Amino acid sequence: MRRWPTQFSSYLASLAGWRADIAAAILGALSAAALPPVYAIPVLLISLPGLLALVDSAKTWVGALRRGFFFGLCHHILGLYWITEAILIESARYWWLVPLAVPALSALMALFIAVPCAGARLAIPGWHRVMLFAGLWTLADLARQFIGTGFPWNPWGSVWAIPGFMGDVMIQPAAWLGAPGLTLVTVLLAATPALGARWLAGGGVALVAWIAFGIHRLDQPIPTAPGVSVVLVQGNVPQTDKWDRTIAATVFNRYLALTAEGVAAAKRQAPNQAIAVVWPETASPYLLGQDAGARAAIWQAATPATAVLAGSIRFDAAGEPFNTLFALNGPDSIAGTYDKWHLVPFGEFPPSWVPFSVQIVPGHLAFGSGPKTIDVPGLPPFGGLICYEAIYPAQLVDEDHRPDWLVNITNDAWFGNSTGPRQHLMAARMRAVEEGLPLVRAANTGITAAFDASGRELGRLQPRVAGQMVINLPGQRGRTPFSRLGLGIPLLLALGACSSGLGFVKKRDRNRFFGMKI
C-alpha cells in the first residue's frame, strides 16, 4: 500500500518494534470511541488507515500480527470494560479477577483483528490489500459468533446505530446486509484515506448513496398490526437485592403495582385494544412455573390484559433449571414458555473448555432448545429473546413459524450505569432492522425501549428508574433479504472481497508473507 502523503502516515511507517506496538495500541483505543454510546465514527478514518500503515511497514507477517493484536487489545479493553462491573458485585469472592477478566477476554477478541492484519499481507499493497483486509476482518467477525459459545459484541457495523433520525437512516442497509455486512462496508470506507484522494472521494459518493437508500427505505410505509398495547415494566431492582429472599415480597409487589398502573394507562389510551404486559428477565422472585399464588397475583394486577410475558427461573420434570420467559394468559394459565439457549459463560454455566472453575452467578442453568415462536390467543405470535441473545444476528427466530414481533427481556443490572447496557440496546435495535420485525425490550434497571420494524425508537425508560411505558405495537415490514438468507449474505460479500484482493497476488508476495526470499 502506497504511503499517505502526510507526515502522520510517514511517521507511523517509520516505527519499528515496541514503538510500533504502542502506536497500534493507541490507534486501537482511539477506534473504541466509534462504538456506542459515543459514536465518534470519524475516528475510524484515522485509526484504521494508521493500522494499515503499520501493517504495511511490518517486515514480516509476525510483526503485522503483533501490531494487529495490540490494536485489538486496547480497542476491546475500552469496549468491554463494563464487564468488570459484574465482577465487582461478587468482589468478596472474585476480587482477583478484576484486573484479569477484561484484559484476558480482550486478548482473545484481539486475535480476531490480529489474524486479518497478518493475512492482509498476502495481497499486494494498495486497494487489493484493503479488500483482503476488509474481507478477512468480516470473516473473523462472523467467526466470533460461533467460536466457543460465541461473543459477537460491538461489531463495527453497530457504530451506525446512532440514536435519532441519523441512526435510523444509516442502519437501513442492515435489512440486506445485516450488521456483519455493515461491518465490511464500514471497514472499506474507513480505509479510503489510506488509498488517496480518488478513493476518499469515492467513499464519500458511496456514503451519500447509503444515506439516500436509508431515507428512501424509511419513507416506505409499514403495515399496521392488529391493535395491541404493550406495557413495558422496568422494576429497577439492584442486582445485590435481586435474589435477597427477605425482600422478595417487596420486589414482587413493586412489579405488581407498576403492572396495574401500566394496564390502566393502556386502557385509557386505547380502550378496545388487546394488552400485553412485559416484565424483564427473571423479574419474578417466585417460580412462576410452580407458584400458582404468584401467577394469580400477577393476573389480578394485570386484568384485563390479554397476556403477561414475564421472566422467571423454571425447573423441568428432571429438576433442570432454565432461564425462561413465561406467557401467562389467565389466573392459572400458561400459554407457553421460551427457554434461553445462548447462555452466558461463567454467568449461567461453567464452560467445559476452561481449565478452572469461576461462576459469578451460583448454579448451572440448562440450555434451551433454540429459537421459538409463542402463540397466545388474542396476540400476534411473538419470538422471545432473553438477555444477550439479542446480539446474535440471524439466530433469533423459528424459521418454520416466524413471529410477528420480538420480545427481548433482559437484566443489565449487573453492569451498572456503564456503556454495556447502551451497547446492548443498540444491538437489539439492529435485530429489528435485520428481521423486519418490531422489537420491544423490558430491562430490569434499563434501558427499556421499543423499536418499529425499521429500527425507529418508539419510546424508552431512562436507566436506574422504576416505571412503566405503554406503546402501540407496530406492524412488521415483511421478510427482509437478510431474514431470508441470513449470514450467507455477508459471508459471500466477505469471500468476494478476499477473492478480489487475492486476485493480484504474485508468487514473490506470497513468499514475502512468510518472510522468505527467493
Q: What tens digit of pLDDT does each residue of 211-249 get? A: 999 999 999 998 887 799 999 999 999 888 888 889 999
Mean pLDDT to the nearest integer, 378-386: 97
Domains and CATH numbers, the chain: 7-219+486-513 (no CATH), 228-476 (3.60.110.10)
Q: Which three cell numbers stand for residue 361?
A: 452467578
The neighbour count for residue 221, using CB atoms within 10 Å, is 7
**Active-site choice (85, 90, 281, 348):** 281
* H or E element, residue 14: helix 7-14
Q: Tell me: the pLDDT tens digits for 43-98?
A: 999 999 999 999 999 999 999 999 999 999 999 999 999 888 887 777 777 767 77
**Active-site choice (242, 340, 389, 434):** 340
| Strand duo 321-330 + 307-315: pairing | antiparallel
pLDDT bin (cut points 50, 70, 90) of residue 2 is very low
Q: Tell me: the pLDDT tens digits for 284-328?
A: 999 999 999 999 999 999 999 999 999 999 999 999 999 999 999
> Is residue 3's pLDDT more than 70?
no
pLDDT of residue 98: 76
Q: What is the pTM of this model?
A: 0.92
Q: Which three cell numbers stand for residue 140?
A: 473473523
- Closest by CA to 474, choosing from 499, 457, 453, is 453
- Closest by CA to 49, choosing from 76, 107, 10, is 10
Catalytic: 387?
A: yes
Q: Tell me: the pLDDT tens digits for 344-375?
A: 887 777 766 555 555 545 568 889 999 999 99
* H or E element, residue 363: none
The percentage of residues in the chain with a pLDDT greater than 90, rounded to a whole number, is 78
pLDDT of residue 148: 82
Catalytic: 281?
A: yes
Chain CA centroid to CA 343, Å: 14
DSSP E strand stretches across 5-99? none
For the chain, the residue count is 518
Q: Which three cell numbers stand for residue 152?
A: 459477537
DSSP 8-class letter at 349: B
Q: Which three cell numbers stand for residue 403?
A: 413471529
Q: Which residues contact 213 (CB under 8 A, 6 or more apart)?
A: 172, 173
**Active-site choice (74, 117, 387, 498):** 387
Q: Tell me: the pLDDT tens digits for 418-433?
A: 999 999 999 999 999 9
Q: Across all residues in the chain, what is the average pLDDT? A: 91
CB-neighbour burial class of residue 207 (10 A; exposed 0-12, middle 13-18, buried 19+):
middle
